[in-house]
Structure formats: C-alpha cells, structure tokens
C-alpha cells in the first residue's frame, strides 16, 4: 500500500491510503452502472410503457438488476470483505421486495431473480478485476 501526504492550507497533513488500481476501477464501474440503472428507471421504463413496446419484461426488472450490481460493486471498494458486503446488500434489496407483499406496493418475483443475478454478475466482475 502506498501513502500520499497532502499538505493542506491549515498546515496539517492528511494521509490517504491509495487502493489498488483495480479496486478504483471496480468503484468507477459501479458508479457507471448506477447511472445506467437510473436511466433504466427514469427514461427506458416510461418509454416502453408509453409506447406499449414488448421488451419481454426487461423494463420491470432492470432497475433491480442494475441497483444491486451498482451498489455491490461500489460498496466492495470500501469493504474489507467485499463478497460478504455484496451478499448483505442483495439481502436487503430482497427483504425490501418481500416486504411489498404486505404493503401497498407491488410484489414481483422477477425483481428477486434480477437482484440475485445482479449479485452474481457483481461477484464475477469483482473476481475478474481483482485477479487481473
């Protein structure tokens, strides 16, 4: 691990631990995928619904897939146990989906499948990037 010393205008020193370049790339990929997830919910879904396009249900589960994928990759950057963190994030999203059975929201089992697929893809990306 490298440490960089940064002198601030307050005459103090801050030491920032530099992470592996692949770790930073994982964070950036997670942030980019988060942007795709936002677009899938705010742009793609309304377009598909308004023009009655048959996209085989992708507009329904894409936000969950991209949310879990993005959060898992982004959180892995800050975690000492990234896979465990990814599983916790996915569990939280799945619990939220199941909770919708008892609330006024709409439960869809495809969201749970999309969340698990997002976890699997996140773990694969993480393993591929770390083992480079």
Taking all residues of the chain, what is their mean pLDDT, rounded to a whole number?
87
Closest C-alpha among 132, 16, 15, 125 to residue 76 = 125
Domain boundaries, the chain: 20-130
pLDDT digits (tens, 9 = 90+) for 6-29: 555 444 433 344 467 788 999 999
**Residue 2 in this model has a pLDDT that exceeds 80:** no
Strands 13-18 and 2-7: antiparallel
Radius of gyration of the chain, Cα coordinates, nearest whole angstrom:
18
CA distance 126 to 129: 5
List the beta bridge partners of residue 15. 5
pLDDT at 130: 86
pTM of the model: 0.82
Would the CA dihedral through 117, 114, 31, 5 be positive or negative? Answer: negative
Tens of pLDDT, residues 95-114: 999 999 998 888 899 999 99
Please give the residue that has the higher pLDDT: either 78 or 3.
Answer: 78
Rounded Cα distance between 109 and 37, Å, is 19
Answer whether residue 55 shows pLDDT above 60.
yes
């Amino acid at each position: 691990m490298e440490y960089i010393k940064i002198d601030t205008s307050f005459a103090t020193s801050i030491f920032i631990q530099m992470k592996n370049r692949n770790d930073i790339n994982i964070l950036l990929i997670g942030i980019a995928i988060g942007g795709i997830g936002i677009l899938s919910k705010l742009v793609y879904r309304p377009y598909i619904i308004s023009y009655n396009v048959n996209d085989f249900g992708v507009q329904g589960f894409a936000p969950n897939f991209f949310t879990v994928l993005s959060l898992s990759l982004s959180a892995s950057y800050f975690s000492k146990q990234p896979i465990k963190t990814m599983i916790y994030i996915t569990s939280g999203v799945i619990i939220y989906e199941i909770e919708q059975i008892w609330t006024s929201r709409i439960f869809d089992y495809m969201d749970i499948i999309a969340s698990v697929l997002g976890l699997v893809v996140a773990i694969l990306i993480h393993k591929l990037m770390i083992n480079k």
